[in-house]
């Protein structure tokens, strides 16, 4: 596809990530060192981030 191979190995969010999600109370958080299961890799930080998000979004 268009742009195939660009940024390979960097795994950083792109501008397109947020498109289509505008208006939703969401945030993209990158947790360095965490893999596919951030709640297991760094449970304390994950819980703090989710709790803070819930409080700020009225959840």
Regarding predicted confidence, which is higher, 9 or 23?
23
* 29 part of a folded domain: yes
* Number of domains the chain contains: 1
Q: Residue 58's pLDDT is what?
A: 74
* 46 part of a folded domain: yes
Eight-state DSSP code of residue 24: S
* 22 part of a folded domain: yes
How far is CA 48 from its chain centroid? 14
* 41 part of a folded domain: yes
* 9 part of a folded domain: no
Q: Residue 17 phi/psi, 5° resolution?
A: -55, -40
- What is the average per-residue pLDDT within 9-30? 66
Q: Which domain holds residue 50?
A: 15-56
- What is the average per-residue pLDDT within 49-59? 85
pTM greater than 0.85 (yes/no) = no
User: Rounded to whole angstroms, how far apart are CA atoms 58 and 15?
Assistant: 27
* 25 part of a folded domain: yes
């Amino acid at each position: 596809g268009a742009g195939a191979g660009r940024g390979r190995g960097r795994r950083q969010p792109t501008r397109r990530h947020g498109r289509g999600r505008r208006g939703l109370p969401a945030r993209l958080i990158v947790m360095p060192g965490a893999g596919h299961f951030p709640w297991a890799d760094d449970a304390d930080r994950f819980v703090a981030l989710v709790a803070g998000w819930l409080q700020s979004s009225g959840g």
